[in-house]
Amino acid sequence: MTDATVGLLRDAGLLAGEPDELYREWVRWTLAAGHAPADVVEVARAENVTATTFAPLAGRTVWRGPDRRPYVRIDDARRARELARLTELLNGGRPSRTDPRRDRNRWSYSGMLGLNRGDAGTTVKRGALVATPEGTLMAVAGRRALRTLPNPVDWFAARGGTTWGEMYLVNGSFDDPAEILRTTVESGRKPPGSGAPSLARLLRHERVHSEQWARYGYARFIWEYVIRHNPNKPCEHPLEREAGLEDGGYRC
């Protein structure tokens, strides 16, 4: 079906020349998302997919889950948003529809409370960062990564971790954060400390939290999550219930 869909894309004038493997992979995952071949043509048109769309991913480290879904390692935080968007698209997602969330959470990528160049964030020195199929980020801190002065991430990072805008930060620090990410992705199992049934379900849960950050905004989300409701009672917490208690590993 991939070859037939590529033919339709070429006939529609959306593909010139021979597509590379990443383009063909995009076709496969878009079909797997439930789209008919003719629908993939409309997705390509809406998302402006061309033969060169995935060129920024060439040569980058790609880790794959048990289902072979690609996760792209980010070695320069200045490109985190671009690579997260491309990873979502490659996995059959529709990043044009989730861009408003990234716009609202743009502080996740830059500025005092966002990502630093070459590492995974203001509290994650010498950390590792990966773009996920949900179009969000997952980060692991390096050893002795947390700075002296606390910030809200430190205050309510608990259990397996917490989502901070667009970034899910695994709780704790590790000698080899990239290896923690790699083994988590390739096994498909929950990251250290998490009670989630699987990585895929955890990321689905955390993506809803990213949507909540975007909906409420920075200060309002913290108010809703930490002050208005008790974060120590997740089974009664409306934001956790909305995100899916079982996906997050909460047993109520």
Indicate if the pLDDT at residue 89 is higher than 60: yes
What is the separation, in whole angstroms, between the first and last Cα of the chain?
43
Give the pLDDT band of residue 41 (cuts 50, 70, 90): very high
Show me where the domains of the chain are located. 1-53, 62-243
Indicate if the pLDDT at residue 99 is higher than 60: yes
**Exposure on the CB side of residue 130, measured as CA atoms within 13 A:** 27
The per-residue pLDDT for 221 is 95
Give the pLDDT band of residue 54 (cuts 50, 70, 90): very high
SS3 55: helix
* Cα–Cα distance list, 73 to 9, 70, 178, 208 (Å): 29, 10, 9, 22
The pair of three-digit structure tokens given for residue 54, joined into one six-digit string: 């995935």
Q: What is the mean pLDDT of the chain?
A: 88
Indicate if the pLDDT at residue 155 is higher than 90: no
Residue 142 · residue 91 · CB < 8 Å:
no
SS3 123: coil
Indicate if the pLDDT at residue 130 is higher than 80: yes
Indicate if the pLDDT at residue 154 is higher than 90: no
The per-residue pLDDT for 153 is 41
The per-residue pLDDT for 151 is 40
Question: What is the mean pLDDT of the segment spanning 211-239?
Answer: 94
Lowest mean pLDDT among 43-57, 69-83, 134-148: 134-148
pLDDT in tens, 185-203: 999 999 988 899 999 999 9
Which residues make beta-bridge pairs with 73? Answer: 130
- The pTM of the full predicted model, rounded to 2 decimals, is 0.91
Strongest mean pLDDT among 3-7, 82-86, 190-194: 82-86
For the chain, state the CA radius of gyration. Answer: 18
d(CA 206, CA 210): 6
d(CA 84, CA 97): 14
The per-residue pLDDT for 152 is 41
